[in-house]
Amino acid sequence: MATNESVSIFSSASLAVEYVDSLLPENPLQEPFKNAWNYMLDNYTKFQIATWGSLIVHETLYFLFCLPGFLFQFIPYMRKYKIQKDKPETWENQWKCFKVLLFNHFCIQLPLICGTYYFTEYFNIPYGWERMPRWYMLLARCFGCAVIEDTWHYFLHRLLHHKKIYKYIHKVHHEFQAPFGMEAEYAHPLETLILGTGFFIGIMLFCDHVILLWAWVTVRLLETIDVHSGYDIPLNPLNLIPFYAGSRHHDFHHMNFIGNYASTFTWWDRIFGTDTQFVAYTEKMKSGKKTE
């Protein structure tokens, strides 16, 4: 009975979204995107698209999303939004981070990306434009992937903080007490594999088109670079997402090496009480501002 009710609610919600979608004006970018997509399919093999295409998407988006935070350090006006003002970025740290990123991206992640083609072939994942899911279904699947990844990240990340294994793996990521965007994927190779597994679980469950791989990469990179940015920007649209952790939540984790283990949302930390120190710190900061 409960299952039937859930299906009915989902169907009603889907119909409502479809109706709203029908009222929206036609997307002027849809036709150019369709032409570009079909050009890609006509000129490149599935292996090239799934492998080199995925690598290009990841590398381009990663450093593109890092760019604003990188530029903020040269803009005096943005200093007031930096969370740990007493720990500015240094060229030495950023260069060290960049070198480790290149190793992780091309020696750890690239071999995993090479498996993308075989994944799409084994599960018969389509590439064609005519099978492309609607934007709202793509968004819903990305949200599902985010919930799954966040759950995996919370429990495995918390495990990596166990005193018996912390210094062997996760300590690398905590080398920089004041995080900056490019540091998001600065980690021990084992951590890249352990926490990165959460990224693929949602893909295994929800992927119905190769575009989901790239859409989910986009969402995940945008989120992880934002929470590692070291800046709390008031007009950040990501802060409008319910239960979104944000940069202050994760910055506190780097500053204190404890609590706030989730990657994207706040509910797991709230349920298990691993955000109590952060909540107390936030309240103290708010009360301090009121007395000024």
- What digits encode the pLDDT tens for the residues 59-69? 999 999 999 99
Global pTM value: 0.90
CA separation, residue 55 to residues 18, 111, 157, 198 (Å): 33, 10, 25, 19
116, 125, 64, 73: which is closest to 94 by C-alpha? 73
Does residue 28 fall inside a structural domain? Answer: no
Taking 60 as the threshold, does the pLDDT of residue 90 lie above it?
A: yes
> Is residue 207 one of the residues assigned to a domain?
yes
pLDDT value at 13 more than 60? no
Determine, yes or no, domain membership for 39: no
What confidence score (pLDDT) does residue 43 get? 98
Q: Is the distance from CB of 148 to CB of 198 less than 8 angstroms?
A: yes
Q: What is the mean pLDDT of the chain?
A: 91
DSSP 244-278: B-HHHHHHHHHHHSSS---SSBSHHHHHTTTTHHH
Query: CA distances (Å), 155 to each of 184, 208, 250, 260, in order?
Result: 18, 27, 15, 11
Q: What is the pLDDT of residues 100-129, one digit of tens each?
A: 999 999 999 999 999 999 999 999 999 999
Count: domains in the chain: 1
26 occurs within a structural domain: no
Q: How far apart are CA 191 and CA 18, in angstroms?
A: 40
Q: Is residue 18 part of a domain?
A: no
Residue 23 included in any domain:
no
Q: Which domain holds residue 79?
A: 47-287
- Check whether 25 has a pLDDT greater than 90: no
Residue 123 lies in a domain: yes
pLDDT band at 284; cut points 50, 70, 90:
confident
Determine, yes or no, domain membership for 97.
yes
